[in-house]
């Protein structure tokens, strides 16, 4: 009896599987997947130095940063990209790190001071494209894309003080990392 019940259950299961597996479908589209394998990454130079370098902002007076949104000390700098694989066509720097203000995309002042020095209050550092458009470092909006020519390009940027309110005097320091996106 157990064999008959088991055989009947197996026959029903096979019949149901056969019934449901004969569906009709038509292709709705095609997905093509492409990519690039390159021999090497590029070399980098900030302001003609190493890949990690310092951009020195000028000394400014608190009167230049006397209200929220005030900016001062605009300083140009470059990231030179060279020696890229010839299969690459463009690069874009993506900025990151823990010093980015989530509210406005600028860099927080993380300076430390030993008395009698102080840390500037209500001051951030803002990065801009070479054309002067602010880069939101949270989203990398407005980060320029450089078209490679002979395996290289020089990307132009600017850095400046940015007041979140009337600034107080003191030191300013911050850091940001950059990671290259290749095309």
Q: How far apart are CA 140 and CA 160, in angstroms?
A: 17
The pLDDT value recorded for residue 6 is: 47
Cβ neighbour number for residue 167 with a 10 Å cutoff: 27
Reading the chain (183 residues) residue by residue, the pLDDT tens digits are 445 544 444 455 555 555 555 567 788 888 888 887 887 779 999 999 999 999 999 999 999 999 999 999 999 999 999 999 998 999 999 999 999 999 999 999 999 999 999 999 999 999 999 999 999 999 999 999 999 999 999 999 999 999 999 999 999 999 999 999 988
Domain 43-182 CATH superfamily: Fimbrial-type adhesion domain (2.60.40.1090)
Sole residue written with tokens 């020519």? 149
The pLDDT value recorded for residue 22 is: 57
pTM, 2 dp: 0.80
Q: Are 147 and 83 in contact (CB under 8 A)?
A: no
Task: Please report, for the chain, the start and end positions of each structural domain, with discontinuous segments joined by +.
Answer: 43-182
Instruction: Provide CB contacts within 8 A for 79, sequence distance 6+.
Output: 44, 45, 46, 93, 154, 155, 157, 178
3-state secondary structure of 131: coil
Q: Among 100, 89, 116, which residue's Cα sits nearest to residue 170? A: 116
**Could you please report the per-residue DSSP string of 55-71?**
--PPP--GGGG-STT-E
């Amino acid at each position: 009896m157990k064999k008959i019940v088991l055989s009947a259950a197996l026959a029903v299961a096979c019949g149901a599987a056969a019934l449901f597996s004969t569906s009709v479908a038509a292709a709705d589209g095609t997905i093509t997947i492409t990519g690039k394998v390159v021999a090497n990454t590029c070399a980098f130079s900030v302001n003609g130095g190493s890949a990690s370098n310092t951009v020195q902002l000028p000394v400014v007076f608190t009167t230049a940063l006397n209200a929220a949104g005030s900016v001062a000390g605009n300083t140009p700098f470059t990231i030179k990209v060279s020696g890229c694989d010839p299969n690459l066509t463009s690069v874009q720097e993506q900025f990151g790190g823990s010093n980015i203000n989530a509210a406005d995309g600028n860099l927080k002042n993380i300076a430390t001071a030993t008395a009698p020095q102080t840390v500037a209050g209500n001051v951030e550092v803002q990065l801009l494209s070479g054309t002067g458009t602010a880069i939101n470092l949270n989203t990398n909006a407005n980060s320029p894309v450089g078209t490679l020519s002979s395996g290289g390009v020089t990307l132009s940027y600017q850095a400046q003080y940015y007041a979140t309110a009337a600034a107080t005097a003191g030191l300013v320091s911050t850091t940001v990392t950059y990671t290259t996106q290749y095309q």
